[in-house]
């Protein structure tokens, strides 16, 4: 807080420096030099020394490691005795990127980067902005909704100010963590100055590129090797086809429409030809860009008709994690059939009592979650995860429940499921499933699970399937549907009906040996076939 206060105070002083310099030179000496004398007849060298002292006082540290900081350059024009000279100075800039008046002449501002809202998040999407450019923002107010790798999370403002510029608008995709998405300023009159503001291509690369122009002379000889004359002569050579820079999509469109790239001027970064350039070129020639000529074979077969659906953030992360799971975890599967007649009878009795008291009904999946949690408490080896140095065995039994939505697959967590009653588990599952469908889950709603249950039997009638382990967990239970079967009775040629449900346990063989997995399924089957024991 002390550093932040000092930065704010000095930033306000810097904005008043030009006005102070227009007045008496002695005022500058008194304000910015502690041991200064009132004489204004100092030499230019002495005056520069005083300014350097002020610069040294203003250079503040954020208290963070240097590799987390970027550097920015400021210029102060100081007229002294009719002679104007400039001095470059650098100040550490923390991750919040509080900027100051730079070479481009921008007033003090803060660059807001894409935050890391979950442990596995490397990039995110902007779902929508709740504030518009020019709006006043206060601490705690929601700026925008960010689509992370797990859910859509609200991003709150940390400081008071005005939203001067939105860099990444609604629907922006694949924004790296730390990449600038907006600019805020302290004063309302500074908003208009950021109308044409555009951040550097890389957060750390652009400021570093300005440093060779700074006073240190050691870097200048390194940047002028023997090959520098060749570099200077390159721009004079006529551009050739293989020297053109274009995005893959732009090259594909150019090939489809037989457009020479040399006839198109790129508007992308560093003159790169992008999709919009090809579209503008074709529009000027009167061609229809949206309907490219379909490829045919011998003029008889038309091309396949298809639609490309962009991947959502949750879909990308799910695909990545499941691929890693199948490639790195040695899966094996154990299947058992459990008789659920007593379970269904108990569920019917409990639901009758709940309906009479105005409560919500209990599902078979709620009973399965409870049985799985109690089996994990009885066989704790299955409530573990693998690391390179040790096996971590959890004391908490937190069950993730797979929920399918239009946006993708979510796994909200029921914490301490072994200690909760059936009514409490049922209520939590319904609430979390609704939040998942609304895409409003928060990190605490899905993080910290130790075991997962996936049920495709009740909702979809799947008889039996094998699920993929959700890392870093070591087990997942796949629950199939219940079906009636003929089973032998006590007498000869006597049969009776019974309902059986197939469940398959996927195990990480590094953590759970075959006998341990079988012991867990035995405990689970005991709770399912004697459900009264779950209530004890």
Q: Which residues are catalytically annotated? A: 509, 513
Residues with Cβ within 8 Å of 525's Cβ and at least 6 positions away in sequence, in order, are: 336, 338
**Which residues 6+ apart lie within 8 Å of 49 measured at CB?**
none
Contacts of 434 (CB under 8 A, 6+ apart): none
CB atoms within 10 A of CB 220: 12
Q: Which residues pair with 156 in a beta bridge?
A: 142
Residue 528 token pair? 């399912």
3-state helix, strand, coil in the chain (%, to 5): 40, 25, 40
Do the beta carbons of residue 180 and residue 112 sit within 8 Å? yes
Q: Which residues of 172-210 are buried (b: 16+ CB within 10 A; e: fewer)?
A: beebeebbbbbbbbbeeebbebbeeeebeeebeeebeeb
The C-alpha atoms of residue 262 and residue 274 are separated, in whole angstroms, by 13
Segments in 289-392 forming alpha helices (H): 313-328, 341-356, 364-378
| C-beta of residue 476 within 8 angstroms of C-beta of residue 439 | no
Q: List the one residue out of 285, 256, 251 whose CA is nearest residue 266.
A: 251
Alpha-carbon distance values, 41 to 27, 30, 45, 55, 489 (Å): 13, 14, 11, 21, 115
* Greatest extent of the chain over all pairs of C-alpha atoms, in Å: 122
Q: Is 512 helix (H, G, I), strand (E, B) or coil?
A: coil
Candidates 8, 202, 20; CA nearest to 108 is 8
Sheet containing 98-99: order of strands:
98-99, 109-113, 180-185, 161-166, 136-137
Q: Which two tokens stand for residue 242?
A: 């293989």
| Nearest Cα to Cα of residue 192 among 134, 126, 109, 270 | 134
Q: Which two tokens stand for residue 351?
A: 């639901």
Say how far apart CA 416 and CA 413 lie, in whole Å. 9
> Cβ distance 157 to 182 under 8 Å?
no
Provide long-range contacts, Cβ within 8 A and 24+ apart, for 184-189: 184/109, 184/110, 184/112, 184/137, 184/157, 184/159, 185/107, 185/108, 185/109, 185/110, 185/161, 186/108, 186/109, 186/160, 186/161, 186/162, 187/107, 187/162, 188/136, 188/162
């Amino acid at each position: 807080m002390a550093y932040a206060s000092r930065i704010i105070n000095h930033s306000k002083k810097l904005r008043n420096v030009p006005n102070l310099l227009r007045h008496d030179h002695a005022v500058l000496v008194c304000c910015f030099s502690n041991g200064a004398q009132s004489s204004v007849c100092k030499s230019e060298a002495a005056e520069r020394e005083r300014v350097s002292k002020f610069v040294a006082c203003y250079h503040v540290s954020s208290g963070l490691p240097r590799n987390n900081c970027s550097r920015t350059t400021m210029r102060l024009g100081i007229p002294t005795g009719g002679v104007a000279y400039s001095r470059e100075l650098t100040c550490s800039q923390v991750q919040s990127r509080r900027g100051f008046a730079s070479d481009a002449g921008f007033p003090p501002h803060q660059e807001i980067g894409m935050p890391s809202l979950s442990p596995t998040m490397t990039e995110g999407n902007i779902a929508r902005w709740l504030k518009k450019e020019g709006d006043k923002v206060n601490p705690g107010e929601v700026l925008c909704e960010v689509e992370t790798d797990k859910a859509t999370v609200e991003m709150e403002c940390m400081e008071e100010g005005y939203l001067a510029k939105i860099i990444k608008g609604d629907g922006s995709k694949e924004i790296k963590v730390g990449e600038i998405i907006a600019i805020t300023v302290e004063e309302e009159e500074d908003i208009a100055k950021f109308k044409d503001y555009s951040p550097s291509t890389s957060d750390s690369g652009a400021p570093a590129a300005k440093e060779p122009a700074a006073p240190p002379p050691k870097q200048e000889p390194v940047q002028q090797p023997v090959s520098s004359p060749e570099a200077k002569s390159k721009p004079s050579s006529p551009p050739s086809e293989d020297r053109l820079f274009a995005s893959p999509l732009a090259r594909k469109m150019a090939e489809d429409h037989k457009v020479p790239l040399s006839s198109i001027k790129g508007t992308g970064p560093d003159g790169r030809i992008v999709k919009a350039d090809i579209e503008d070129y074709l529009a000027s020639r009167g061609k229809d860009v949206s309907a490219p000529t379909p490829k045919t074979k011998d003029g008889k077969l038309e091309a396949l008709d298809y639609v490309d659906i962009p991947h959502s953030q949750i879909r990308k992360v799910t695909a990545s994690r499941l691929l890693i799971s199948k490639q790195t975890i040695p899966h094996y599967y154990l299947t058992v059939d459990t008789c659920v007649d007593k379970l269904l009878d108990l569920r019917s009795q409990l639901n009758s009592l709940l309906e009479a008291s105005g409560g919500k009904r209990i599902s078979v999946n709620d009973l399965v979650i409870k049985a799985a949690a109690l089996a994990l408490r009885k066989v704790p080896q299955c409530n573990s995860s693998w690391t390179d140095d040790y096996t971590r065995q959890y004391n908490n039994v937190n069950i993730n429940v797979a929920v399918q939505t239009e946006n993708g697959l979510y796994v909200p967590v029921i914490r301490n499921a072994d200690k909760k009653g059936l009514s409490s588990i049922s209520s939590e599952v319904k609430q979390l499933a609704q939040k998942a469908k609304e895409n409003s889950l928060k990190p605490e709603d899905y993080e910290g699970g130790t075991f997962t249950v996936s049920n495709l039997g009740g909702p979809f009638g799947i008889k039996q399937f094998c699920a993929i382990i959700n890392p870093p967990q070591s087990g997942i239970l796949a629950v199939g549907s219940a079906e009636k079967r003929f089973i032998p009775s006590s007498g000869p040629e006597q049969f009776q009906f019974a309902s059986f449900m197939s469940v398959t346990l996927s195990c990480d063989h590094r953590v759970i040996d075959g006998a341990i997995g079988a012991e867990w399924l035995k405990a689970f089957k005991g709770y399912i076939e004697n459900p009264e024991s779950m209530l004890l």
